[in-house]
Structure 1
Amino acid sequence: MRVTLNATKTRTALRTSARISLDVLLVLLLTWVALWILGWMWPVVWPLVIGLLLTTLTWPMTRFLRRRGWRPALAATTVTVLFLLGAAGTVALIAVPVASQADELTTGVINGIEELRDWASGPPLNIGDDQVSQALDEAVARIQGSIGSIISATVTGVGAVANGVITAVLALFLMFFFLKDGPRFLPWLTRQLPGRLATDVPTVATRCWDTLGSFVRSQAAVGLLDAVFIGLGLWIVGVPLVLPLAVLTFIAAFVPIVGALFAGFVAVLIALVSNGPTDALIVLGIIIVVQQLEGNIFQPMLQSRSLGLHAAVVLLAVTLGGSLAGITGSLLAVPLAAMIAVIWHYIRDQLSEPDPEPEPEPVPEAGRPH
């Protein structure tokens, strides 16, 4: 009898495990299909994502104008124009000082190359001019041999720039329409959904929107900290173009990994050609220290508090997103993880709510006929 009972329990456990495994496989299959569809629609999805991120950044000002009685179209137009002027002003703030000192920087680059060549010709390297010329000849020969690859890469780069311009234009148009008609979306969505979904989906969408806004604000705070500390270090060292470099650092903070590397490279290069190798190494050390503080302390702390995620989850999300989808994955990993957490918390709260107890039937009063 006991053997039969154990066999029955074993079969039941195997059936349960098989059913759970089948459910997991089904979920993985649906996830793969969803990711494939997302990749197929990425030329449309990517401008939509950028438009949403820009909208979270500009919505507070739009909301302020609308509360002051401005019409939605006028408020959205004003904010969009101001955003474009701010972007153009930022570019001018970086480009104009650099252009005004272009001759100085060019001279510094040439002198830096000459100093590097003189240093390489002495001990311990002892590289002669004939060796340098031979290396240059070999480099030219390799470039001539791979001219086809260079042309292909150039065409690809031009196509990438064109796609980037199209994406930026679409994102700006989407931002305008989101600012203008965004508050109408949830009421419209409520009318389209049946039953309980009319309540659950708008609630989750509102929470996800708040989470996305928190992500953008925290990222802006991190970029501001980077710009202040790196700009202060550049000013102390005496590097020129401090303000443009600080602005570039703030903007680059919105692009994980590559943005920080690019801004740091520009700062070190300007320090090298204007102040010399010693100050360039000092600037490099300052940037490394600030980036380490940002990546390991500032960013996880700010994002974990504003998004409701643990700092370790933020780090793991950025790592996983970068390994799966490169720069784009690193940029979207944290807000996506936060939205998944929002959806999970909402589902958990709904499932944990006890069912409403049935109301007790009224007790008939004494003496009243039934």
Structure 2
Amino acid sequence: MTAAVRPDAGRNNTPYLYGEEAAAVARVLEGGQYGHSEVTEEFESRIAAFLGVRDAVAVMSGTAALHTALLAAGVGPGHEVVVPSMTFCASVQAILAVGATPRFVDIDPVTLCVTDQLVMDAVTDRTRAVMPVLFGGRAIDFSSVRRELDARDIAIVEDAAHAFGSRNRARRVGATGDLTCFSFGPIKNLTCGQGGVVVPRTRAEADTIRRIRMLGVVQSQAERGRTTSYQVDGFGLRYQMSGINAAIGLAQLDHFEKAETTRRILWRAYRRALAGLDGVHLVDVHPDRSVPHLCQVLIPYRDEVHAQMKARGIGVGVHYPPNHLQPAFAQWRRDLPATEQAGREVLTLPFHQHLTENDIDRVVTVLGQALKTVGAASCARS
């Protein structure tokens, strides 16, 4: 008989609130500054201090962060951006939004992340940026090729949507000298409800990103309040983060140390529970350095096991269907064997701060039962 699973294990991922977010939002609503405001600027300052960087620019989503970062790096029509196919489609859509084209690259089959060598092998004369995706929260060290990329005027635009709080050696992701983009969507390690941040490399990039997110307007909110007009200095979009979203993020940031600790404990609990299952490979996120965002396994019969676990109330998922196999991106399809194998085998297990170690044991029990059931059925058919 299948072990009973608490409702929390029925969700693949779900937001975690600390109880102070609603009051923080209420204060913003009472103050009447619903849009971009001093609360947004406080959030930017707090994020910059947390990461140990000079500046951080808040925008309305992780996709907006990638879009504005590419624009600030000078990426546009005629350029290519090297990007792993194993990522959420937002990474690719941001590349297309600036008029560039994606050059898909394969991944390490153990980590599901790109390596510096795989990226360099994909670089062409048209490459203007590379976009390593810090999959599952695992940091990627590009220090060995940064000088060569700089010499070729190729920017590193890190898609760190999964990796807020993770470390590359001793430094937080975002403090390693690259253009780094974070997402603070509902299920991220830190949530603003919806939002993102770009960590620029230079003051000029910060100014460019701030101008773009404000529809090309160069004056600050305070400056606009003191004048009878305003100045539009270039292309822009309405990408500001609202004070409402920033207030949620500030409340979350006060408790981020707890999030780091809890997510590492839960990921290690999965590692212990999965150790006895044959044929299951746990995707390594390097939990000593990362703040894990996903817990994933590579398994045989993935689609059948997925269906079995869903039927038993377990919130499993697939992150992600490879982008080079998507109809919208088919014209840029390349031979990516490791990505395609992972796309057939990867299964995302429930992973969020509502889980307990007992939940994890039960999830793994059901996974083991599903593997046996599906494996036995496959043997019977053959």
TM-score when normalising by structure 1:
0.24
Higher relative CO (Cα under 8 Å, sequence separation at least 6) belongs to 2
Highest Rg: 1 or 2? 1
- Greater helix fraction, Structure 1 or Structure 2: 1
- Greater strand fraction, Structure 1 or Structure 2: 2
